[in-house]
Structure 1
Amino acid sequence: MSDLTSPPTTVGQAPGSGAAWTDRYRSAVMDTFGPPQRVLVRGEGAYVWDADGRRYLDLLGGIAVNALGHAHPTLTAAVSAQLGTLGHVSNFFGSPTQIALAERLLELSSAPEGSRVFFTNSGTEANEAALKMTRRTGRSRVLALEGGFHGRTMGALSLTSKAAYREPFEPLPGGVSFLPFGDVDALEAAFADDPGSVAAVFLEPLQGEAGVRHLPAGYLTRVRELTTEHGALLVLDEVQTGMGRTGSWFAHQDPTIGEGVVPDVVTLAKGLGGGFPVGAVLALGERAASLLGRGQHGTTFGGNPVAAAAALATIGVIERDGILADVMDVGAHLRSAVEALGHPLVASVRGAGLLVAVELTAPVAAEVASRALDAGFIVNPVSPTALRLAPPLILTREQADTFVAFLADLPTTTGPIEEDR
């Protein structure tokens, strides 16, 4: 076992400080993300280290991606073994790992007879494919929710409501109407306007980018009733919430979230491969599974043997190690511990499993996240007043408690906190 407190010394790592690497980043990498907060060089479990040897508790997990943490031995062994046997073959051919993964996903989703899977490389690609499926219904109108985030490719972006993301690239593919979040009256009115024109309702069971927002009780049930009544599809974007993030394989399987609803289409990515890029579209039932025919969609890398092996290994470890129960336990502990602080800067805590938002009483989330990074914690200021946590599913109570202690030590002011440093 390596010394987790020592600077990285792995053979082949490039030398140089974080500042030097950041300078090289600025001159070589397109400026779509801004300069990196840190340059990370290695990880183990729930921790990562930067180029200057500092350790951080990763409470973001690559934005809900690193389900098993970093450098998990089972995952790395599976990827290495598969790459050493068969890496890429194109989708003119099948592979045992691709077929086995499709079968496992259908099993985990309790898919009805006739269901099928389409593999992609990312969440935005999964949502792009799902959007194309809605067009094959013969209708062109899609209903999505304000606050939703579904990706940045042109089709997925058309489903994403945030003006700052959309406006630089308009005109986008048309036909998408945005409904007020959780407003049943607006939902019913959208169907009443022209019920025969609605191809699908497209939404997240929990809105991640908007700050881990739960739909109001009964809303998803009403969506299912209306889509069924009018022959429209219900598409659930589980890119962030799927694969154990909320303590169930899929968030909609939790009755407090999904209300027993069975969707027509589910999109996945992020945690599916434990850090290896892979996404999927689950078409549940024969109608959804037959919407895209031969030649109507494709991908070069989607479902390649290595990506499929990574996903199968991730699923296997979650099952073997009882991680779903741990997610529920540690997530509940984290939320209750933060609430119990009674800190004047913490307004509330919400979420499910290990997808958590800490709502603040003032718009200082960016300052708190910066202070957290300096203290050795990676979190995401998803809005001016909210921090998003999506740590590896292997996070322990003891690790979570170190972050709670950090919050407890924050200044009690509700104004800008940087002055108190």
Structure 2
Amino acid sequence: MSAPQSPVQRADFDQFMVPNYAPAAFIPVRGEGSRVWDQGGRELIDFSGGIAVNALGHGHPALMKALTEQASKLWHLSNVYTNEPALRMARQLVESTFAERVFFANSGAEANEAAFKLARRYGHDVSGGSRYEIIAMINSFHGRTLFTVSVGGQPKYSEGFGPKIEGITHVPFNDLDALKAAISEKTCAVVIEPIQGEGGVLPAEQGFLQGARELCDAHGALLIFDEVQSGVGRSGYLYAYMHYGVVPDILTSAKSLGGGFPIGAMLTTEKLASHFSVGVHGSTYGGNPLGCAVGSALLEVVNTPEVLDGVKARYERFRTALESMADKYGIFSGVRGMGLLIGALLSEPWKGKAKDVLTAANEEGLMVLQAGPDVIRFAPSLVISEADIDEGLARLERAIARITQA
């Protein structure tokens, strides 16, 4: 008989963990749907979705079933072999998108790492080495590896790690003239988030994405869409590029893709995929049977008119309530986003105080996010009930009333 496990508490984080995070004072231990309970039994409503990850909330029966069934069969093989869940999920992604080929990874950063490496490999192969420059957007975020953090347009994440990767240029988001001035025959790729997530929940303008596509075509460069945060139903479309009608050459996906199980994917065309021949790139865990079984089950649920139309309807419910709070308390200057990736911009007197709003919301039993110091971000379950939306918004209003009237 095994000895009972010793209890853990929040202080253990400070004692045992690397201090690169600053987690909340409470520890969630159980979740069901869009409700979470902490160690003390306190219930919270989850508007954070694990940072746009828990696409179907906590403990969704379809995902639980897929995971437990696969867990009883096969956990891991490595890519010396293929497996049925990976093949099934790859087929689903190809049949549902522009893509013809899929590469599986463990995370959004790894999916982007693969995308950027493929773009440079393609540029090398077609130019003999002269086409390697990548153009990304200011305030973009693409992951935490040295390559992805260098492509990301937020210096606070990339400084202090020695020499940066060369050949990366940043231009202002939604500034087509700046992109036109930067692109050249040396450009192998332009990288854009259709909705900037960490940069403040800022959707791209239609003309900017369309113009980027035309510039890439004119200069022989690839267009990469980072849909790690905006993808898998989050925008009200399976992928946000479908809303814009602008098709990329490479698309990256993660976060919601596994509904909480770590998985990422890079989607591309057959022509480009051929530049990743055997041995050029790889991942030990990429295409793991557990992750792909869960991801496949999630796609079956999310990629339906009922869920995607429901996301659009839920956006309107959030927007109406948040705009009402803006009028009543003066704390927000606007609401932006798409689907269930929503940003409420803090008004001038509240700029820089997003963390204060998060803390107050936690105290009222609500989990929300920030996107920088000036934006409150909402990324709940795509199937969150109207009752949970209304109760969560009521808790948010109590928090706002308390801090604005203090």
From 266, 270, 293, give the equivalent of 2:255: 270
Cα contact 1:367–1:418 (8 A) shared by 2: no
User: Aligned residue for 1:146?
Assistant: 138
What does residue 3 of structure 1 align with? none
Partner of 1:50: 38
Q: Does 1:357 align with 2:343?
A: yes
Q: Secondary structure at the match of 1:99?
A: helix
Please say if 1:221 is aligned against 2:210. Answer: yes
Question: Given residue 310 of structure 1, which amino acid in structure 2 is its aligned partner?
Answer: V
2:300 aligned with 1:316: yes
Matched, 1:302 2:291: no
Shifted more, 63-72 versus 214-223: the winner is: 214-223
CA change 1:410–1:131 in 2 (3 A) is same
2:52 paired with 1:67: no
1-structure distance, mates of 2:234, 2:400: 31
> 1:172 aligned to 2:164?
yes
Instruction: Kindly indicate whether the alpha-carbon contact (under 8 Å) linking 2:48 and 2:367 is maintained by their aligned counterparts in 1.
Output: yes
Q: Is the 8 A contact 2:98 2:247 kept in 1?
A: no
Do 2:341 and 2:379's aligned partners in 1 also have CA atoms closer than 8 Å?
yes
Deviation, 1:171, is 1.3
1:183 counterpart residue number: 175
1:13-412 → structure 2 map (5 Å cutoff): 16=7, 21-111=9-99, 115-136=100-121, 137-138=123-124, 139-191=131-183, 195-254=184-243, 258=244, 260-283=245-268, 285-319=269-303, 322-341=306-325, 342-343=327-328, 344-361=330-347, 362-363=350-351, 364-410=353-399
Amino acid in the other structure paired with 1:86: L
CA distance in 2, matches of 1:134, 1:181: 20
The CA distance in 2 between the partners of 1:373 and 1:262, in whole Å, is 39
Deviations 1:21-67 (A, max 9, x none): 11112211111112444211110001111111111111111100001
CA contact (8 A) 1:26 1:35 kept: no
Normalised by the size of structure 2, how large is the TM-score? Answer: 0.92
Once the two structures are TM-superposed, the CA of residue 404 in structure 1 deviates from its matched residue by 2.7
C-alpha displacement at 1:110, in angstroms?
3.6
| Corresponding residue number in structure 1 for 2:128 | none
5+ residue gaps, structure 1: 1-11
Would you say the 8 A contact 1:274–1:314 is kept in 2?
yes
Residue 331 of structure 1 aligns to which amino acid in structure 2? Y
Q: Distance in 2 between matches of 1:129 and 1:187?
A: 23
What SS does structure 2 have at the residue aligned with 1:252? Answer: helix
State the SS of the aligned residue for 1:56.
Answer: strand
Letter in 2 for 1:208: G
Name the CA distance, whole Å, in 1 between partners of 2:282 and 2:62.
30
- 2:290 partner amino acid: V
2:127: which partner in 1? none
Distance in 1 (CA, whole Å) between partners of 2:397 and 2:283 is: 48
Whole-Å separation in 1 of the counterparts to 2:373 and 2:334? 14
Deviation at 1:407? 4.0
Contact 1:334 1:397 in 2 (8 A): no
Partner Cα separation in structure 1 for residue 4 and residue 255 of structure 2: 26
Q: Give the CA RMSD over aligned residues.
A: 1.9
What code does the residue aligned with 2:333 have? Answer: A
- The answer as to whether partners of 1:273 and 1:314 remain within 8 angstroms in 2 is yes
The equivalent of 1:4 in structure 2 is: none
Deviation at 1:80, TM superposition (A): 0.9
Count of aligned residue pairs for this structure pair: 392
Contact 2:171–2:179 (Cα < 8 Å) also in 1: yes
Q: Deviations over 1:163-211 (max 9, x none)?
A: 11110213122111000121111111112xxx21000001100000011
CA distance in 2, matches of 1:212, 1:96: 36
Give the AA of the match of 1:142: I
Structure 2 distance, partners of 1:13, 1:45, is 29
Query: Which residues of structure 2 form unaligned runs of 5+?
Result: 125-130
Q: TM-score, normalised by structure 1?
A: 0.89
SS of the residue aligned with 1:24?
helix
The amino acid across from 1:185 in the alignment is D
The structure 1 segments of at least 4 consecutive aligned residues displaced by more than 4 Å after TM superposition are 12-16, 410-413
Whole-Å separation in 2 of the counterparts to 1:162 and 1:69: 30
Deviation at 1:288, TM superposition (A): 1.8
